[in-house]
Homo-oligomer: A and B are copies of this chain.
Amino acid sequence: MSRTYYDVTLPYSPDLPAWPGESKPVIRRINDMDEGDGVNVSRIDACVHFGTHVDAPVHFIDGDRAAESLDVAVMVGPALVVEFPDAPAITADMLEGAGIPHDVDRILFKTRNSELWNNPAHDFFEDFAAIAADGAQWLVDRGVRLVGVDYLSIESFHTTDFAVHKTILGAGIVAVEGLDLRPVSGGVYEMACLPMKIVGADGAPARVVLWRDD
């Protein structure tokens, strides 16, 4: 048996776009062999919502669950990649027409956004494709437990009410943002989406890997 792996995680560096107003991460060596130290040791100072990451419910719902309590049973298992290559918004109608099996727990949406990662150092792009409010409600009603998107938010940059975040996170769905889905096409994969287990945090950087056994 051979297994093919797809790393759908963005390379984590200050080159990636940050959410407008958010400071980029600072990654620096505090011990450096080039300066005579016996070892290289780095520190990282970053927003937990930078790069590929998950949102915890407490991001938008004060007092709700934080990153350390997201369920690994939700974050490891089969995931369905669904392609919507042209749509600016993922609506309930589109989801209803996509033939998504009723027992799917984890869905990753591959949109036109993924092409933005051809240049990981691009400036933040405001008009990314995202989940519409009625699409979010569809996902909740269907009992989906994890949803992933290929830009930095599940929700339009132009939202004023944050209905998508509140609907998704309020239902306890794990939201995965900042995926690079260029390596995969539609279909079912095994997935491990593993965020840092940061106690009390509203989100956490995550490494996300898909694979298939041939």
Contact = CB atoms under 8 A, between A and B. Distances in A.
B198 A13 contact: yes
Contacts of A73: 3, 5
A196 B48 CA distance: 12
A95 interface: no
Contact of A207 (B7, B12, B40, B195): B195
A117 interface: no
B195 A42 contact: no
B200 A27 contact: yes
Contact of A5 (B3, B60, B72, B208): B72
A81 interface: no
A201 to B, nearest CB: 5
A59 interface: yes
Interface stretch (A30-38, A123-131, A133-141): A30-38
A24 to B, nearest CB: 11
Interface string A7-33: 101111101000000100001011001
A187 interface: no
A100 interface: no
Interface in A54-83: 58-60, 62, 68, 72-73, 76-77
Which of A49, A52, A203, A205 has the largest number of chain B CB atoms within 10 A?
A205
A68 B29 CA distance: 16
B42 A11 contact: no
A34 B58 CA distance: 11
Contacts of A48: 41-44
A38 B47 CA distance: 16
7 contacts: A5-B73, A12-B198, A12-B199, A15-B199, A22-B41, A42-B203, A45-B45
